[in-house]
Amino acid sequence: MEHLELFFKSIFIDNMVFATFLGMCSYLAVSKKVSTAVGLGAAVIFVLAVTVPVNWLLDQYILQPGALQWLGAEYADYDLSFLSFIMFIATIATMVQLVEIVVEKFSPSLYNSLGIFLPLIAVNCAILGGSLFMQSREIETIGLAFNYGISSGIGWFLAILAIAAIREKIRYSNVPAPLRGLGITFIITGLMAIGFMSFGGMLTGGDDEGKKQPEETAKVEKVNKKENKLAENTTTINE
């Protein structure tokens, strides 16, 4: 159930393009034709599905405050979270290089049509954003991290597919000249985002009330734990 909820939530409600504006550059630049849009969307799904779990492992066992405990008790106080940007981006750059090699080998035509945008996936905010949101939302298991990666990738895919289809059709309409191209794309994306906002109510119906209670207490416990840890730290300093 938790998986299903996260799945639909990341596709529709927290859609990367419409709710958080991630990956807008390539979204705007590669959405002129449906075929290239599909290729890029698939590459984004794949890269997200690989990098988010890998970065989850990095976060869990190296970066988080106290994550280095498995090395020995003397490392328990280490907090390397300031290094997360550099670690995440290194993982992403490696994975993108891998995708580039695979695509070039198996589908040269797609490789040529994507052109510069394949290496640019490395600097697509959606990919890094996925990992950073995974970190800031404290996703708990690696399965959920994988789910999060793949479903937010699908959300992005859906968005670029929709806008590419609209842009192919809009070529035949009489758009005011200064608005042609980029301007109208922005406004259509805005309107689509308004549409996607209506999905916000999707997961709040049903048996939610029964479920919310334990979740909140769990959160409170977590906060208490953090506070306790803080208190412990300060007492040790005071001593």
Applying CB under 8 A, the residues found at the interface with other proteins are 18-25, 28-29, 82-86, 89-90, 93, 119-120, 122-125, 127-129, 132-133, 136, 176-187, 189-191, 193-194, 197
Reduced to 3 states (helix: H, G, I; strand: E, B; else coil), residue 56 is helix
Give the nearest distance from C-beta 60 to other proteins in angstroms.
18
Contact 196, 19 (CB under 8 A): yes
Residue 8 or 117 with smaller CB distance to other proteins: 117
Q: Which is nearer to other proteins, 22 or 45 (CB)?
A: 22
Nearest distance in Å: CB 51, other proteins: 12
For the chain, the C-alpha Rg in angstroms (whole number) is: 21
Q: Which helix (H) or strand (E) covers residue 129, if one does?
A: helix 125-136
Residue type, 18: F
- In the complex with other proteins, the residue whose CB is nearer, 1 or 177, is 177
Angle separating helix axes 34-58 and 84-106, nearest 10 degrees: 140
Shortest gap between Cβ of 176 and other proteins (angstroms)? 8
Shortest spacing between CB 213 and other proteins, in angstroms = 27
Question: Smallest distance from the beta carbon of 209 to other proteins, in angstroms?
Answer: 26
**For residues 4 and 90, which CB has a smaller minimum distance to other proteins in the complex?**
90
CA 96, 101, 102, 106 dihedral sign is positive
How far apart are the C-alpha atoms of 26 and 174, rounded to whole Å? 25
Distance CA 230, CA 121 (A): 39
Nearer CB in complex with other proteins: 25/203: 25
